Structure 1
Amino acid sequence: MLDLTKLAQQMQGMSQHMSREVEAARKRLEVAESLLQTAKLHQDQLVQHQENLANRILFNPAKPVEPIDACCYIAAPPKVHTVFATDGSQISPSAHEIAYCYLLNVGRIILYYGQSRHPVLDSIPEIYYQPEDLYISRQWGIRTEEWMGYRRTVSEAVILAEIGEYLSMIPGNLLSIPTLAMVDGSLTYWFLEQLPSEARNLILQPILEAWDTLRLAGIPLLGYVSASRSSETVSFLRLEACPHDQPNCIKYCPTVGIIDSQGFSKKAPCQTVEPLRDTVIWASKLQPGQRSPLWRSQARILDLYDCHQVYFCYVNVGTEIARIEVPAWVAENSEQLELALGMMIAQVKKGYGYPVALAEAHNQAVVRGGDRTRFFAMLEQEMIKAGMKNIGTSYKEARKRGSIA
């Protein structure tokens, strides 16, 4: 049981610490705004340094493709449009359950606006119990629970592409009705960096094929990142803050990152605003309904994405500064990009601060306690029909579910 009296004493110290952090963050923001103002005067030169000296820079600043001080209003979408989304949930494998298996449940949503059509709100469950499903990842040292999460990402992308194909077959639908595909979270799958190449291909290739399907159908794909902790645009300001004519981390800052005797990592002169996040600086620049300039992410994992390089911008959706990510084929089509951003803003308004399609996809996908109980009850019935005996959970699991304390 939590002792709130003892906890209250610690809270006082924490509040004082937070007050100091707020003041430090305010000063970092002032420095960042000053760097942004000076960087816009010679943006082309900084980008040139970024391209020519990439192998000498030990951080990954995003590359601006528009003036870095541009703040553009997003136009309202047409009244007639379609938005669809997917999101996933799962039941993880457990050695204490009646059977070692896992279940993926992908919620899918299609919302038609101004078309007098009923929305689609359902989910697609799939159970994995074959040895090749449960143990294939162990050859690469990946736990089954982790592999299940990666497979869920693939399923979300594949089902999203299937929806796009379905909509593209409706006569005249895509020619006259703007359509948007949305996913929750980033389009840059950072977890791929730690995977062996064979495992990475099994995950990434189906995703990129699904994106190709959307591209060929002419449907823009958009990733909505809420509460982003990224600092890719702030990292670009480090090029301006560098005291040397040409940035060269290897030559001028070889000891950066080394832990000192007090346990702190040594910083370079250009790290004056860290750990400031992108959302903080753009919150001071953007009015509701405005977006930041477009940036191209320079994350190294994107070298594997072929024509699907990830671009992003920040949008003041009214309730927060959201990071919006799109593949290159959307970013390079200005009309398609503006339509996609307009439909996204409308989704946030309809969802009272968060895109309604993503919220409903999550609600369709989530596996609640009652669903889990019914799933294992159905599984138990099938096992009994198959003639299996002594079916049940482990004593540990049964005891935890029925405490007498």
Structure 2
Amino acid sequence: MLDLTKLAQQMQGMSQHMSREVEAAQKRLEIAQRFLEAAKPHQRQLVEHQENLGNRILFNPAKPVEAIDACSYIPVPPKVHTVFATDGSQISPSAHEIAYCYLLNVGRIILYYGQSRHPVLDSVPEIYYQPEDLYISRQWGIRTEEWMGYRRTVSEAVILAEIGEYLSMIPGNLLSIPTLAMVDGSLTYWFLEQLPSEARNLILEPILEAWDSLRLAGIPLLGYVSASRSSETVSFLRLEACPHEEPNCVKYCPTVGIIDSKGFYKKAPCQSFEPLRDTVVWASKLQPGQRSPLWRSQARILDLYDCHQVYFCYVNVGTEIARIEVPAWVAENSEQLELALGMMIAQVKKGYGYPVALAEAHNQAVVKGGDRTRFFAMLEQEMIKAGMKNIGTSYKEARKRGSIA
């Protein structure tokens, strides 16, 4: 049980710390805004430095593909359009349950607007119990629980592509109607960086194949990142803040990141406004309904994405500054990009601050406590039918469920 009396004693110190952080964040924002203004006249030169120096820049700035001070309004979407989305949840494997297995449940949503069609709201569950499902990741030192999360990401992408194929086969060529595929979160899967190449291919290849299917169907893909903590565009301002003739970190700042005699990490001169998130900067620039300039992410893992390089912008959706990510084939088609952003804004308005398709996909996917109980009850019945005996949870699990506290 949580002792709130003891916890209350710590709250005062935390609130004071947060108050000081607000003041410090405002100062960092003012510094970043000055560098943003200073970078406007020679944006092209900064991009050239970025391209020429490559790995000698030891941080990860995004590359602007539009003027860095460009803030444009997003057009209103057509009344007739279609939006679909997926999201996933799971029942994790446990050695204390009646069987060692896991379940993935992917919520599917198709919302038709102005078409007199009923929406589709359902989920696709799948049980994984074969040895190749449970233990294949052990050869790479990856726990089954982690691998389950990666497999869920694959399932979400594959089912999203299946919805796109389904829509393309509906009589009357439904895809002549503007259509948008949405996912919750980033299109850049950072966890892939730590995986061995063989494991990474098993995860990434089916995802890229699914995206290819959407690309060939002419359906834009959009990742909606709420409460983003990214600083990729702010990192670009470090190129302007660099006091040296060129932002060559290897040459001029080789000791950055090393712990000094006082136990602090050494910072570079260009880090005067860190830590500062992109959303804080763009919140000071964007009006509701406006988007930031388009940027291309320079994350190393994207070298494996082929034609699906990730571009992004920030959008003031009214309730927050959302990070919107799209693959290259959407970003390079300005008409398709603006149409996708318009449908995204409409989704946020219909969802009262968050895209309704993503919210409903989550609701369809989530596995509640009662669902978990019924799942294992069904599994127990099937095991009994198969002639198995002595079926039950471990004593530890049984004791936890029947606490006397």
Fold equivalence (TM over 0.5) = yes
Q: Corresponding residue for 1:323?
A: 323
Name the SS of the counterpart of 1:103 in structure 2. strand
Number of matched pairs: 405
Q: CA separation in 2, counterparts of 1:31 and 1:375?
A: 55
Name the SS of the counterpart of 2:269 in structure 1. coil
For residue 264 of structure 1, report the CA deviation from its aligned partner.
2.1
Q: Corresponding residue for 2:251?
A: 251
For residue 171 of structure 1, report the CA deviation from its aligned partner.
3.5
Name the SS of the counterpart of 2:219 in structure 1. coil
For residue 300 of structure 1, report the CA deviation from its aligned partner.
0.3
Name the SS of the counterpart of 1:53 in structure 2. helix
For residue 8 of structure 1, report the CA deviation from its aligned partner.
2.5
Name the SS of the counterpart of 1:244 in structure 2. coil
For residue 298 of structure 1, report the CA deviation from its aligned partner.
0.2
Which consecutive residues of structure 2, in runs of 5 or more, have no partner in the other structure? none
For residue 60 of structure 1, report the CA deviation from its aligned partner.
0.9
Q: CA separation in 2, counterparts of 1:348 and 1:98?
A: 42
For residue 261 of structure 1, report the CA deviation from its aligned partner.
3.5
What does the per-residue CA deviation read over 1:259-290, in whole Å, with 9 as the maximum and x for residues that have no partner? 22443211000001100000000000000000
Answer yes or no: is the 8 Å Cα contact 2:167–2:175 preserved in 1. no
Q: CA separation in 2, counterparts of 1:341 and 1:333?
A: 12
Name the SS of the counterpart of 2:308 in structure 1. coil
Q: Corresponding residue for 1:221?
A: 221
What does the per-residue CA deviation read over 1:185-205, in whole Å, with 9 as the maximum and x for residues that have no partner? 000000000000000000000
Q: CA separation in 1, counterparts of 2:40 and 2:125?
A: 50
Answer yes or no: is the 8 Å Cα contact 2:109–2:122 preserved in 1. yes
What does the per-residue CA deviation read over 1:33-71, in whole Å, with 9 as the maximum and x for residues that have no partner? 000001011000000000001121001100000000000
For residue 76 of structure 1, report the CA deviation from its aligned partner.
0.7
What does the per-residue CA deviation read over 1:16-45, in whole Å, with 9 as the maximum and x for residues that have no partner? 221211111010000000000010110000
Q: CA separation in 2, counterparts of 1:163 and 1:84?
A: 8
Answer yes or no: is the 8 Å Cα contact 2:80–2:113 preserved in 1. yes
Q: Using the aligned pairs only, state the percent identity.
A: 93
Answer yes or no: is the 8 Å Cα contact 2:283–2:321 preserved in 1. yes
For residue 10 of structure 1, report the CA deviation from its aligned partner.
2.2
Q: CA separation in 2, counterparts of 1:24 and 1:173?
A: 55
Name the SS of the counterpart of 2:307 in structure 1. coil
Q: CA separation in 2, counterparts of 1:157 and 1:131?
A: 24
Answer yes or no: is the 8 Å Cα contact 2:80–2:115 preserved in 1. yes
For residue 404 of structure 1, report the CA deviation from its aligned partner.
1.5
The alignment's TM-score, normalised by the length of structure 1, stands at: 0.99
Q: CA separation in 2, counterparts of 1:165 and 1:8?
A: 54
Name the SS of the counterpart of 1:150 in structure 2. helix
Q: CA separation in 1, counterparts of 2:385 and 2:248?
A: 69
For residue 173 of structure 1, report the CA deviation from its aligned partner.
3.4
Q: Corresponding residue for 1:201?
A: 201
Name the SS of the counterpart of 2:79 in structure 1. coil
What does the per-residue CA deviation read over 1:317-340, in whole Å, with 9 as the maximum and x for residues that have no partner? 000000000000000000000000
What does the per-residue CA deviation read over 1:110-166, in whole Å, with 9 as the maximum and x for residues that have no partner? 000000000000000000000000000000000000000000000000000000011
Q: CA separation in 1, counterparts of 2:130 and 2:239?
A: 52
Does the C-alpha gap of structure 1 residues 175 and 362 become closer, same or farther in structure 2, counting only changes over 3 Å? Answer: closer
For residue 230 of structure 1, report the CA deviation from its aligned partner.
0.1
Does the C-alpha gap of structure 1 residues 354 and 12 become closer, same or farther in structure 2, counting only changes over 3 Å? Answer: same
Question: Alignment RMSD, CA only?
Answer: 0.9
Name the SS of the counterpart of 1:371 in structure 2. helix
Q: CA separation in 2, counterparts of 1:91 and 1:175?
A: 35
For residue 172 of structure 1, report the CA deviation from its aligned partner.
4.0
For residue 247 of structure 1, report the CA deviation from its aligned partner.
1.1
Name the SS of the counterpart of 1:223 in structure 2. strand
Does the C-alpha gap of structure 1 residues 52 and 174 become closer, same or farther in structure 2, counting only changes over 3 Å? Answer: farther
Q: Corresponding residue for 1:156?
A: 156
Q: CA separation in 2, counterparts of 1:9 and 1:89?
A: 36
For residue 174 of structure 1, report the CA deviation from its aligned partner.
4.5
What does the per-residue CA deviation read over 1:333-369, in whole Å, with 9 as the maximum and x for residues that have no partner? 0000000000000000000000000000000000000
Q: Corresponding residue for 2:5?
A: 5
Q: CA separation in 2, counterparts of 1:33 and 1:179?
A: 37
Q: CA separation in 2, counterparts of 1:272 and 1:194?
A: 30
Deviating 4+ runs (over 4 angstroms):
none
Answer yes or no: is the 8 Å Cα contact 2:105–2:365 preserved in 1. yes
Which consecutive residues of structure 1, in runs of 5 or more, have no partner in the other structure? none
Answer yes or no: is the 8 Å Cα contact 2:182–2:358 preserved in 1. yes
Q: CA separation in 1, counterparts of 2:287 and 2:316?
A: 6
Does the C-alpha gap of structure 1 residues 266 and 295 become closer, same or farther in structure 2, counting only changes over 3 Å? Answer: same
- Equivalent positions of 1:126-275 (< 5 A) are 126-275=126-275
Name the SS of the counterpart of 2:145 in structure 1. helix
Q: CA separation in 2, counterparts of 1:90 and 1:24?
A: 40
Answer yes or no: is the 8 Å Cα contact 2:168–2:175 preserved in 1. no
Q: CA separation in 2, counterparts of 1:3 and 1:111?
A: 45
What does the per-residue CA deviation read over 1:197-254, in whole Å, with 9 as the maximum and x for residues that have no partner? 0000000000000000000000000000000000000000000000011111011101
Q: CA separation in 2, counterparts of 1:10 and 1:100?
A: 40
For residue 175 of structure 1, report the CA deviation from its aligned partner.
4.9
The alignment's TM-score, normalised by the length of structure 2, stands at: 0.99
